[in-house]
Amino acid sequence: MSAASAVARPRLDPASFPSMGPGQLRPGRDNDAIDGLVPQAVITARETAHVVATIEEARAKKLAVVPSGGGTLLHVGAVPRAYDIRLSMTAIGNIVEENPEDMTVTCQAGVSLSRLQRSLAKQGQRLAIDAAREDRASIGGIVAANATGGLRHGFGLPRDLVLGATAIDGCGREIVAGGRVVKNVAGYDLVRLFAGSWGGLAILTELTLRTHPLPAAAATLVFEFVSASELDAARSRLAGAQLSLSAIDFTVDTTEAMPLWILVVRIEGTEEEVGWQGDAVCALVGRQPADAAEEWESPAHVDDGHGTSVRVAAAPQDIVGVVRDVCAKWKQSAASQGGQAAIRIAGHLGAGIARFHLAGAEAGEADTASAALITATAVGGLVRGRVIERAPAQLKALYDVWGPPPASIGLMRAIKRRFDPDDVLSPGRYVGGL
């Protein structure tokens, strides 16, 4: 049991929510837990007034609220200082307005990415975000986590696609930032602040995002290499080329005795553009693809919902070398020698990001293997950043899961105090214990 759960918490009183209907408030269960902490209650907001009522009750009773969308990313973050209410946003999930001429869409935070994509596709458009588990991942969660897949290479992060947001802060105040049109920039910085704030500053209720046309043609080309240096040479040639690629991802198949280093390139555009860019990629890489498909799924979605996941950031020109070094350290560690644990590795070459996912460790071996992976990925040398995205709670409590706080931590604290002075929203989960 963690320190947070050992301390007696103030109790939530269900009678404080007279406006909520049946089924909207239930006791927390084991599968609502974050890092072993089970919330007192799960509240499903059906309208913004329920979000405000929850925050006001939490403020009055000094309770902690963690907002959730599809719940696919709630494992990311430091062990919460407290977790009394899980506030589900999935029932606030309407598509408010599609504006194909302006290339924008306004939707409520709880809508799933796949539902939004299906609707936009009818207008020949899409959101250029390829998050994992699109059927569950909500737009609010994706923006709050600033999370995407390989398409970040061609289209940027969710933060770059959000034009406007409505949110409820830790005082229950509604904040409207940005707007519904591309040219409206008032409040834009606030929008960028909320993107990636991990539910710690405000609860997003509505978002306006920039859309892109669905490409007329597309190809995913897969190239295999027997060494890291061959993959890195291909990466370097692609990085220097005047091409407009949507994604340059990689994965390493460590289940082979001689690991295969795999490059996955996504090309989108007109038939003609996809044709000539495909030829150019093959010429730069120096071979024909081992596989080619029209569909796309970022290979970087390696976390299967269990085990330990660590995300490492380096300069793009260093990322393959970093992965090779981590693999070598991992191989030397006792954990990899006796046990059955295998790591899956994948990432985004253009962004310098690699994810190491340790799955399949036997109970008892798991902590040793996880600790060995955490040690092998420590910040220093070419490793510029490391986030322990998923790990057993007892290990998360030992490490700074976000890495050392940045120089701007003083400013971050001031911003947190401004939006959430009573520490109601996701306390302790973010960088520097915010």
Ligand X SMILES: Cc1cc2nc3c(=O)[nH]c(=O)nc-3n(C[C@@H](O)[C@H](O)[C@H](O)COP(=O)(O)OP(=O)(O)OC[C@H]3O[C@@H](n4cnc5c(N)ncnc54)[C@H](O)[C@@H]3O)c2cc1C
List contacts with ligand X (CB under 6 A). Answer: 66-74, 77, 89, 109, 131-133, 136-138, 140-142, 144-145, 147-149, 198-199, 203-204, 300-301, 303, 305, 355, 426
Q: How far is the CB of 362 from ligand X (least distance, A)?
A: 21
Nearest CB to ligand X, comparing residues 233 and 359: 359
Q: How far is the CB of 332 from ligand X (least distance, A)?
A: 27
Nearest CB to ligand X, comparing residues 87 and 228: 87
Q: Pairing mode, if any, of strands 65-68 and 85-88?
A: parallel
**Helix residue ranges, H only, 134-268:** 139-145, 152-155, 158-161, 188-194, 228-239
The residue with its CB nearest to ligand X is: 141
**Helix residue ranges, H only, 209-364:** 228-239, 271-285, 319-332, 334-338
Q: Are 223 and 290 in contact (CB under 8 A)?
A: yes
Picking from 143, 136, 256, the residue whose alpha carbon sits closest to that of residue 191 is: 143
Picking from 142, 15, 153, 158, the residue whose alpha carbon sits closest to that of residue 67 is: 142
Residues 6 or more apart from 6 whose CB is under 8 A from it?
A: none
Interatomic CA distance for residues 26 and 45, integer angstroms: 12
Nearest CB to ligand X, comparing residues 35 and 230: 35
Q: How far is the CB of 276 from ligand X (least distance, A)?
A: 29
Nearest CB to ligand X, comparing residues 25 and 113: 113
Cβ neighbours around 305 below 10 Å, total: 11
Nearest CB to ligand X, comparing residues 82 and 274: 82
Nearest CB to ligand X, comparing residues 16 and 114: 114
Q: How far is the CB of 101 from ligand X (least distance, A)?
A: 28
Q: Pairing mode, if any, of strands 342-348 and 25-27?
A: unpaired
Q: How far is the CB of 410 from ligand X (least distance, A)?
A: 23
Q: How far is the CB of 9 from ligand X (least distance, A)?
A: 19
